[in-house]
Structure 1
Amino acid sequence: MERKNKNIILFPRVKERLVEEGMEALQAKRYDEALHFFHEAEQLGENSFHVALSIAVCHCELGDFLEAERRLRMLLQEHRDDIELLQMYVSILMQMQRYEQAEMVIRDALHRRHLSPSMREQLLRLLHFNQKMSKTALPLAEQDSIQQLFESDDITEHMKVIKQLENEDIAPVLSILKQYLMNESKNPITKTMILRLLTLKNVTDVVTIEKFGERMEAIPANLNEQAQTAFALHVLRQLENTLASENPSLYEVAVDIWLRYTYILYPFSPKPATCEDWIAALHFIACQFQGIPAALEKIARMYHVHAENMDFLCKKLYEVEKFSYF
């Protein structure tokens, strides 16, 4: 029996193409996609500093600070004189609120490196900032309790913690709140509450919010909730014109569904659809909730919209309804 050749023959420049695709995705801020390409290249033997650093950056942007810290630490062991790498590593440690470790790394660099005056000044400023943050940090036990709380699914408990943070300095837990916002598996209701908290606290950092497969970067201090919800308010006014007098109880149910949907969706806007499409979908689902017999096609004709569009929006509304009422 002829022995089969188990060697895998790769197409030319496979690694190079994977790295190119990874860099293109990274520059477009598609970090999950970039990470996939870089990992594929890594498995094929790509071990360049550039790719290793890019993988660490992807983990950092995705909120996986533990893996980012591990990879940056390994890179720093091989490239001890790379100041930019050192600064990135210290920044990650500070994001994780590991201030003592960050201080040790900075002091070690100041003692053993031949630094230019400007670089030494940068490190000293970073050391001063790290020491300042360390003084304002919450006790470790309190940080852990907030982290553990957000790992639960109890919205009521989430509300209590966020309400408590309204009267406290949130700087020590800002990195935890940022991680929550960008984690696709976390509850979108809590994300809305956190984002409103950051707006209230006038946070000027760029944060990444992920909800229902969509991702957005925003500066909380610059968010204008009234502008963000202008379309939602327009739908409410049209709902009142069409349903309030005809069937007040049905109108109240439709309003409740819509307010819940737009609250959970914030800061994203309801899309893609016209005002009439949404009103028709809300009318149909309100009927479903109240046990009123209703045909989707008939309601579509009432509002002069396509039934297919209505059905698509109904699915979006039902998707949100699986979350707890609040």
Structure 2
Amino acid sequence: MRRNDNSRRRRQDNLFFFPQLDERLVEKGVQALKNKQYVQARDLFEQLHELDADHPQAAYGLSICYVELGEYERAEALTEDMLKRDVGDYFDVLRLHITVLIQKRRYKKVIEMIEAVLEEGDVPPDLEVTFQQLAEFSKVRMEEKTTSEVIQDEGHAPHIGREPRDNIDLSGLSSIDPEQQWLTIQKLQHSLSPEDYPQLEDFLTSDEGDPFIKSIVLKTIKDSGFNGIIRVKKFGDTYELTPEIDILFYEGFSDEVKVKIKEVLASDNPTLCDLAEQIWQHFIVAVYPKPLEPDNTDVWAAACSLYTYQINGIETNQDALIQLLNVFERDVQNAVGLIKRVEESASGKKL
């Protein structure tokens, strides 16, 4: 439910005797967050939240403070309320809410929420891939849980990580444990500061970093407003990017490929078509910013369709597919080879 005129009038009444109080509280709260002074920031945002429960910055800032201070019960309740009442940016709040659920190891609820959101559609492409991976990650974690973890899943957050921290342990990005990777990313997405950039570039230019995780870090850096040049190494090559102006994940081109995949597969095998689209979406995030050669949407649609057939053990008439899209077999085989290489090295295949 969106804010109405009555809530706006109530807010004006609350602040009538204190002009611009809300602006001052937001400014001080945001600055405290940037300085990682989470207790001070929490107190400031709580003041504003008491005056106006519908103030998006107050509610979102307060939620972040709760997470950083390990107050997961309060963070879950507040973000859930924000989602129900449509306070703040929906996907930002949803991502934070899922972060809290993962911290509490409530994997079943994570899966249910993500599946419902993806079914509704209209999810930004980069978030769609992230949500899909988090859902897969949660499914694996549910299968691995011990009896003690089942107890935690009923609403009790693990003790580890509940103490306030001064900075983010970025070593989690290089962890072989997918849970540590994802939790580090979730923290970065709402707590990234300029002092973290050098460490992040060290991770991005390392030889061992997961290509999919590197791309999510790039997106996080772009969202943080970084306006410089940053380097990333993938598949043996190093690229320089300007996140502020560069278009991520082949936007536009990738959409055209998805349209062509539907033209090839949707009518004969809708299930396979959905899988091919998921593979393509994961691939373009993991492979970015490596140039896609040739720059031909038909080639990549044919390659992704053919790869999807192959990994599912389904025979298909490759020549007919190539003829249908009017592409060269050599180009398609090279593209299939790259998709296979990327998919086997990226995080989606390690969960």
Q: Which residue of the partner structure matches residue 299 of structure 2?
A: 277
Separation of aligned partners in 2, 1:268 and 1:212: 8
Structure 2, unaligned runs of 5 or more: 1-164
**Contact 1:188–1:264 under 8 Å retained in 2:** yes
Residues 1:200 and 2:228 are matched in the alignment: no
**Contact 1:189–1:264 under 8 Å retained in 2:** yes
TM-score by length of 2: 0.48
**Contact 1:262–1:270 under 8 Å retained in 2:** no
Q: Which residue of the partner structure matches residue 205 of structure 2?
A: 182
Separation of aligned partners in 2, 1:151 and 1:243: 37
**Contact 2:300–2:332 under 8 Å retained in 1:** yes
Separation of aligned partners in 2, 1:146 and 1:312: 35
Match of 2:176 among 149, 153, 159: 153
**Contact 1:192–1:264 under 8 Å retained in 2:** yes
Match of 1:246 among 259, 264, 268: 268
What is the count of residue pairs matched by the alignment? 184
Separation of aligned partners in 1, 2:236 and 2:318: 27
Residue 271 (structure 1) shift: 2.2
Structure 1, unaligned runs of 5 or more: 1-137
Change (3 A) 1:177 1:199: same
Separation of aligned partners in 2, 1:303 and 1:167: 43
Residues 1:236 and 2:261 are matched in the alignment: no
Change (3 A) 1:156 1:223: farther
Residue 298 (structure 1) shift: 4.1
**Contact 1:188–1:265 under 8 Å retained in 2:** yes
Structure showing greater relative contact order (alpha-carbon pairs closer than 8 Å, 6 or more residues apart): 2
Amino acid paired to 1:225: L
**Contact 2:174–2:203 under 8 Å retained in 1:** no
Change (3 A) 1:155 1:205: farther
Residues 1:299 and 2:321 are matched in the alignment: yes
Separation of aligned partners in 1, 2:188 and 2:299: 39
Root mean square deviation of aligned Cα: 2.2
Residue 309 (structure 1) shift: 1.6
Question: Structure 1, residues 179-211: CA drift from partner, whole Å, max 9, x if none?
Answer: 111123211111111111111110122111111
Question: Structure 1, residues 226-247: CA drift from partner, whole Å, max 9, x if none?
Answer: 7x32111111112222321232
- Superposed, which structure 2 residues align to 1:287-326 within 5 Å? 287-322=309-344, 323-325=346-348
TM-score by length of 1: 0.52
Deviates more, 1:280-289 or 1:294-303: 294-303
Residue 219 (structure 1) shift: 2.1
Q: Which residue of the partner structure matches residue 63 of structure 1?
A: none
The runs of at least 4 aligned residues of structure 1 exceeding 4 Å deviation read none
Amino acid paired to 2:180: E
Residue 269 (structure 1) shift: 4.4
Residue 273 (structure 1) shift: 4.3
Change (3 A) 1:281 1:173: same
**Contact 2:210–2:347 under 8 Å retained in 1:** no
Amino acid paired to 1:192: S
Residue 295 (structure 1) shift: 4.5
Residue 266 (structure 1) shift: 2.4
